[in-house]
Amino acid sequence: MRRMLFKSLVHGPLTEAAPKADDAALAELAAQVDRTARLRLGRTLSIREVDAGSCNGCELEIHALNNIVYDLERFGLRFVASPRHADVLLVTGPVTTNMREALERTYQATPAPKWVVAVGDCARDGGIFAGSYACVGGVSAVLPVDLHIRGCPPSPITLLQGLLALLETVERSVK
Amino acid sequence: MTETTPAAIKLRDVIRAGRQVENHSPWARAVINHEDWRQAAASLSDGQWTLLGLWAERDQVHMAIIDGGDLGLLSLPCEDKRFPSVGQLHPPAMRLERAIRDLWGLEPEGLADTRPWLDHGKWPPATFNDVAHEAPPLAARDYAFLTAEGESLHQIPVGPVHAGIIEPGHFRFTANGEAVVRLEVRLGYVHKGIERLMQGASIERAAMLAGRVSGDSTLAYALAFAHAIEAAHRIDVPPRAVWLRALMSELERLANHFGDIGAVCNDAAFAMMHAQCGHLREQVLRVADRCFGHRLMMDRVVPGGVERDLQRDSEQEVHSLLVQIRKRFPELVELYDNTASLQDRTVGTGIVSSALARQYGCGGYVGRASGRAFDARRTPGYPPYDRLQFEVPVREDGDVDARLWIRIHEVEQSVALIDQIIRQLPRGSIRDPAQTVRTSQAHEGVALVEGFRGDVLVWVRIGADGNIERCHLRDPSWFQWPLLEAAIEGNIVADFPLCNKSFNCSYSGHDL
């Protein structure tokens, strides 16, 4: 183990440089910034992920954000265990009717100010599952959504671009 | 149980005695009578046969069975919307029958557990296959969890929303201090109605749905669905496509096993393995992306072949990946093997007995860690694995450690397989030009494919119009979730995440 630790000291980190924030996401957010709210947050955002019926593909890529290549925490973005600690709800899936109540209660448990980011094509409008008796069809049918990140599933880079856009919007509003 | 052991009944004899369904392949499907259905349930209960799946449609139930090396399907018409419960004799069928009642309104007669399973009382009435949900069975909070009696017991409800980035499900622990007395899992939260969406869908759309049953196994599902369609329509797949499919399958297995090995160690607070394995997983996904244009390889396997060929120079990419894994992975294995504090958590934790693994026909690393040496790449087997050299690792210990070691050995096997595949990859076309076979009859196909988690079963009936009439997809998790409840018994609550991660069952694949 010592040998491996030493090696990683010598070789430097495997973490890669950050991508630019996504322009489309910046545009979507620009209209929804609440200056006083952002003031309180500084430049960190705590994220609570909620799977509302995803196939688990989005979860795999969201997980990847935490790996050493993308290292999400260096941007002040981190995943937290409880909605009580969260500023952002990251919601995946077409919102199944069986998860609707749990999603609503998670939202209610999140203190304001809060933002909802819908991740994946099925979180946008139900995607391929639209029209099912068991799906509400998109996060915005249940909660106010501030940002959509497209993809099936979106790659970690796409996710990062979207989240950085959220963060930049927060910072810009503070200045 | 009778005193005398009944003479073993052969599945093939039962099928021969029944009415064989035409245009069903590659295994036979026979319509049988009530008496034979009950006898089949007894043969499953005796352990002579293993249940591969149990599902329904409007007026009949089907079960897929494996008897030694023979596979086959038995069907029972349900007059009066009833059928004799298999679960009353053979517990692995219980949740499948509860799901059948929720989705099709067919009553499994004699089933002891009458609680709904996938239906949480929230679906709009009369939407699924015209089954009327006149009165929603139960509100979510009224679901009666199984009880445990004794002094100083307390319950811990967990979920459906969990602390980590994982899928939703509810765990109800009954504990005595730290020790778990009983765990009951409640699922169905991510039921999307996929099988209903498939009915009437074109084969192309259905293939995309199949690839989204469980995202981590998208390739295994796409492959099983394609195999079933190709069996039904007797489509020959070009050799190059067959080998590319195997390449993708092994890449999917590698990525998931790396993720799991790291995640299990992380749940024992050993973050370094998590970091290293997470990096290896990322490398696999990037190679998949460069080779096939999608990190998870979604929609790349299609009925008739594969959607796209290897991108130029990507054989070299695959080769470099293998070099990297062969260099780095042994160090990590050594690290796991030599870290006593880590082994202290994994060895002897969450034991699944080999008897339970056998009874439940439990596949994948959970089954193989408990002595069940089943691998769909061998039985029934499918090309090109008949021309590849690989071993199916098996252990008897059945604990978290054994499930981790099975994954370690499977990583080694997958690396060796990819090496062979890249060397032997034939040239030629990658897809049979779309053959929409239009006949006046329905055609049925069935397939069993080994995903990283275990065997995925897909059964399909294609209607005379060329669209899907009925499709059933059975995740390996159906036969693994119940064993998680057995594995945790007597362990401490704090070891549950470790046990759960070592199973890594699919919620979405189970809930459909």
Chain B CB contacts of A78 below 8 Å? none
* pLDDT classification of B441: cutoffs 50, 70, 90: confident
Burial class (CB in 10 A: 0-12, 13-18, 19+), A85: middle
**Structure confidence by residue, pLDDT tens digits, A162-175:** 998 888 776 665 44
pLDDT at B185 over 60: yes
Average pLDDT over residues B183-205: 96
User: Rounded to an integer, what is the distance from CA A30 to the centroid of its chain?
Assistant: 17
| B180 in the same domain as B74 | no
Q: Do B193 and A61 touch (CB under 8 A)?
A: no
Any chain B CB within 8 A of the CB of A66? Answer: yes
The domain that holds B12 is classified in CATH as 3.30.460.80
pLDDT at B40 over 90: yes
Chain B CB contacts of A82 below 8 Å? 163
| B269 in the same domain as B377 | yes
CB neighbourhood size of A152 (10 A)? 20
For residues B75 and B34, the answer to whether their CB atoms sit within 8 Å is: no
CA distance B144 to B126: 25
Q: Do A100 and B507 touch (CB under 8 A)?
A: no
**Structure confidence by residue, pLDDT tens digits, B112-126:** 999 999 999 888 765
Nearest residue in chain B measured CA to CA from A91: B165
* pLDDT classification of B134: cutoffs 50, 70, 90: very low
pLDDT at A39 over 60: no
Q: Do B214 and A55 touch (CB under 8 A)?
A: yes
Q: Do B296 and A106 touch (CB under 8 A)?
A: no
**Structure confidence by residue, pLDDT tens digits, B334-350:** 999 999 999 999 999 99
Average pLDDT over residues A149-173: 87
Q: How far is A107 from chain B (nearest CA, A)?
A: 11
| B375 in the same domain as B284 | yes
Determine the pLDDT at residue B127: 56
- Say if B501 falls within a structural domain: no
With CA atoms as reference, report the closest residue to A41 among A163, A148, A173, A160. A173
Determine the pLDDT at residue A23: 72
- Say if B306 falls within a structural domain: yes
Average pLDDT over residues B193-214: 96
> Can you tell me which residue has the tokens 């090396």?
B69
Chain A CB contacts of B204 below 8 Å? none
Least confident of B63-77, B274-288, B438-452: B438-452
3-state SS assignment for residue B312: coil
| B290 in the same domain as B178 | no
Chain B CB contacts of A60 below 8 Å? 215-216, 259, 296
Structurally, chain B folds into a number of domains equal to: 3
| B264 in the same domain as B402 | yes
pLDDT at B217 over 80: yes
Chain A CB contacts of B275 below 8 Å? 67-68
| B50 in the same domain as B179 | no
Chain B CB contacts of A94 below 8 Å? 192
Tokens of residue B329, six digits: 């992975």
The domain that holds B374 is classified in CATH as 1.10.645.10
Higher pLDDT, B1 or B109: B109
| B312 in the same domain as B180 | no
- Say if B205 falls within a structural domain: no
Determine the pLDDT at residue B159: 85
Q: How far is B189 from chain A (nearest CA, A)?
A: 5
Determine the pLDDT at residue B491: 95
Count the helices and strands in chain B (H runs, E runs). 16, 16
Determine the pLDDT at residue B3: 46
Which uninterrupted H or E stretch holds B64? strand B60-67
pLDDT at B173 over 70: yes
Determine the pLDDT at residue B437: 59
Which uninterrupted H or E stretch holds A101? helix A100-109
Determine the pLDDT at residue B302: 95
Chain A CB contacts of B338 below 8 Å? 1
With CA atoms as reference, report the closest residue to A53 among A142, A113, A115. A142
Higher pLDDT, A11 or B267: B267
Tokens of residue B281, six digits: 């997983």
- Say if B166 falls within a structural domain: yes
**Structure confidence by residue, pLDDT tens digits, B20-31:** 999 999 999 999
Determine the pLDDT at residue B343: 94
Determine the pLDDT at residue A26: 66
- Say if B112 falls within a structural domain: no
Chain B CB contacts of A77 below 8 Å? none
* pLDDT classification of A44: cutoffs 50, 70, 90: confident
Average pLDDT over residues B314-339: 95
Which uninterrupted H or E stretch holds A108? helix A100-109
Determine the pLDDT at residue B438: 58
Any chain A CB within 8 A of the CB of B128? Answer: yes
Which residue among B192, B213, B216 places its CB closest to the CB of A96?
B192
Interface probe with B: pick from A3, A82, A96, most Cβ of B within 10 Å? A96
| B426 in the same domain as B289 | yes
Higher pLDDT, A3 or B32: B32
Interface probe with B: pick from A51, A68, A107, most Cβ of B within 10 Å? A51
Higher pLDDT, B3 or B220: B220
| B54 in the same domain as B159 | no
- Say if B64 falls within a structural domain: yes
| B31 in the same domain as B164 | no
**Which of B78, B101, B124 delimits the end of a domain?**
B101
Strands (E), B127-178: 154-158, 170-176
> Can you tell me which residue has the tokens 């995803």?
A54
ipTM computed for the complex = 0.93
Strands (E), B213-266: none
Q: Do A49 and B165 touch (CB under 8 A)?
A: yes
Q: Do B215 and A54 touch (CB under 8 A)?
A: yes
Determine the pLDDT at residue B37: 96
Interface probe with A: pick from B120, B128, B165, most Cβ of A within 10 Å? B165
pLDDT at B498 over 60: yes
Determine the pLDDT at residue A11: 81
Any chain A CB within 8 A of the CB of B335? Answer: yes
Any chain A CB within 8 A of the CB of B146? Answer: no
- Say if B210 falls within a structural domain: no
Determine the pLDDT at residue B434: 58
Average pLDDT over residues B369-393: 96
Domain of residue B175 covers 153-186
Average pLDDT over residues A17-24: 78
Q: Do A100 and B122 touch (CB under 8 A)?
A: yes
* pLDDT classification of B157: cutoffs 50, 70, 90: very high
CA distance B1 to B292: 54
Higher pLDDT, B72 or A18: B72
User: Rounded to an integer, what is the distance from CA A77 to the centroid of its chain?
Assistant: 9
| B378 in the same domain as B259 | yes
Nearest residue in chain A measured CA to CA from B337: A1
Chain A CB contacts of B124 below 8 Å? 97, 133
Which uninterrupted H or E stretch holds B84? strand B82-84
pLDDT at A37 over 70: no
- Say if B274 falls within a structural domain: yes
Chain B CB contacts of A131 below 8 Å? 197
Tokens of residue B466, six digits: 């060329």
- How many residue pairs from chains A and B have C-beta atoms closer than 8 A? 144
| B169 in the same domain as B288 | no
- What is the pTM assigned to this prediction? 0.93
Which residue among B193, B208, B281 places its CB closest to the CB of A134?
B193
Least confident of B15-19, B32-36, B145-149, B356-360: B145-149
Chain B CB contacts of A79 below 8 Å? 165
Q: How far is A40 from chain B (nearest CA, A)?
A: 25
Which residue among A59, A66, A98 places its CB closest to the CB of B191?
A98
Which uninterrupted H or E stretch holds A49? strand A45-51
Chain A CB contacts of B194 below 8 Å? 129, 132
Nearest residue in chain B measured CA to CA from A52: B190
Determine the pLDDT at residue A5: 79
Burial class (CB in 10 A: 0-12, 13-18, 19+), B267: buried
Which residue among B167, B208, B331 places its CB closest to the CB of A51?
B167
Determine the pLDDT at residue A33: 47
Average pLDDT, chain B: 92
Any chain A CB within 8 A of the CB of B294? Answer: no
DSSP B310: P
Nearest residue in chain A measured CA to CA from B160: A102
* pLDDT classification of A20: cutoffs 50, 70, 90: confident
Higher pLDDT, B53 or A174: B53
